[in-house]
Amino acid sequence: MGNRGLSGSSYNGESWRRFGWLAAAVVALALVAVVPRRSSIFPISKKACDLMDSRKYTGIVEDCACGYETVDSLNAEVLHPILQDLVITPFFRYFKVKLWCDCPFWPDDGMCRLRDCSVCECPDYEFPEPFKKPFSGLSVDDLICQEGKPKAAVDRTLDSRAFRGWVEIDNPWTQDDETDNAEMTYVNLQLNPERYTGYVGPSARRIWEAIYTENCPKYPAGEVCPEKRVLYKLISGLHSSISVHIASDYLLDEETDLWGQNFALLYERVLQYPDRVRNLYFTFLFVLRAVTKASDYLEQAEYNTGNPEEDLKTQSLVRQLVYNPELRAACPVPFDEAKLWQGESDPELKHLIQKQFKNISAVMDCVGCEKCRLWGKLQILGIGTALKILFSVDGQNHMNQQLQLQRNEVIALMNLLNRLSESVHFVHEMGTSTENIMERRASLPGTKAPL
């Protein structure tokens, strides 16, 4: 099936043959019933779900201050529901991004395998004016770019409401060109879910190779300072999360437009590598710590979209998230950033890691799939915002006086936290049962374990 979005690894014919017996079952069901819009590469039975009691991820999440069981419980009961409601509010559903840009490192050779991957050019007057002038909007007749809406393309449908811009402050952790200019546009994130896109070619693989090899290598255990280890684990956790989202919303059959869950892919790309699961939890707690550290700032920020009822709901949800009593009682400090930057080489090391992360943010311009580029840029900006909150401001007591965030940074931060929350939730719900099925499948005579 080619690469799956920004996860950047192939799902080839051999893999399909490997699970041919499962695919045959899906086809057999399709012959006797109406094909559903959602399905999976193989079903998870109740018996398999009963095996989830034997979780192997226990104790404290590495380099953090909360346990796996605590994270799963808090996420399922508190964080995930709040974040799901928060990201669909008018303020958090729009993201400002420069989608058309040249790769600074190599000529782009990426392509999307799905039909009509590219986005048609929309007239200049379509945006961003509705978002700069409150209460101004577009007529339905002006939204001429929406015919067809290819699956791997960015849907640019705009809402008639607007919100005011915040300050434009440079982020020392990201490249400087992601600010307000004529090349940027707004997209509705709810119309552009992070999912399988069919992104294939050397560009997809080269993205992650450039990130890991040149800017974020995996160092041998015990031979790396904690600050560099944090950067690697953040990127690895993000990579795992992207792979989880692609596997959880996968195009199983293009001809019938059958979307569903690809558990074989989930196992191949994430679950069979325990460090990738651990890094997913680490990244989730790291970003959650940034949100809770900036709680006063986020609670007092202006969430103005011109819709008073929705804006009050947004403020209420932000308060429920950042001041949640269950979160503060069970996991008051998800990650302790005070343990870092303690050595004599602190300034030089921070400058080096900032440079590496800026390079990673620049690599997002090389992603050949537009929808993958959208989510790559948003989530890298979200991590950059978390790094900015945790490592560019000194002292919790003076956070409001020192911290300045762009509106886009807050949108990216909250949407990233929701993406990670969804990934942790999906892995917790389906991970153990999927592993059991795949391991039993690999033990059958004449079969091989997935690569």
At 32 the pLDDT is 31
- Nearest by Cα to 98 from 164, 165, 154, 149: 154
At 4 the pLDDT is 52
Q: What pairs with residue 260 in β-bridges?
A: 39, 250
Catalytic hit among 101, 103, 112, 372: 372
For residue 259, the SS3 value is strand
For the chain, the C-alpha Rg in angstroms (whole number) is 22
Is 174 a known ligand-binding residue? no
At 347 the pLDDT is 76
Cα-Cα end-to-end distance for the chain: 15
Is 351 a known ligand-binding residue? no
At 306 the pLDDT is 80
pLDDT under 50: residue ranges of the chain: 1-3, 10-36, 46-54, 112-150, 159-164, 395-401, 449-451
- 8 A C-beta contact, residue 236 and residue 275: yes
What DSSP element (H or E) covers 379? helix 370-391
Known active-site residue 369: yes
Asked if residue 226 has a cis previous peptide bond (ω within 30° of 0), the answer is: no
Angle at 221 between CA 220 and CA 225, to 5 degrees: 90
At 174 the pLDDT is 79
DSSP string, 85-117: HHTTSTTTTEEEE--S---SSS----EESSTT-
Residues 6 or more apart whose CB falls under 8 angstroms from that of 72 comprise 424, 428
At 440 the pLDDT is 83
Is 245 a known ligand-binding residue? no
Q: How far is C-alpha 189 from the geometric centre of its chain's CA atoms?
A: 12
- 8 A C-beta contact, residue 271 and residue 51: no
- Span 346-355, pLDDT tens digits: 778 888 888 8
At 153 the pLDDT is 64
Is 239 a known ligand-binding residue? yes
In order of 66, 75, 197, 321, the CA distances from 61 in angstroms are 6, 14, 32, 21
Query: What ranges in 101-225 are assigned the alpha helix state H?
Result: 129-132, 202-209
Is 197 a known ligand-binding residue? yes
Angle at 96 between CA 90 and CA 100, to 5 degrees: 140
In this structure, the strands spanning 38-40 and 258-261 are parallel
At 375 the pLDDT is 94
Catalytic hit among 66, 103, 112, 369: 369
Known active-site residue 372: yes
User: For tokens 């952790």, what's the residue?
Assistant: 173
At 403 the pLDDT is 80
Q: In the Cβ-directed half-sphere of 45, how many Cα atoms lie within 13 Å?
A: 4
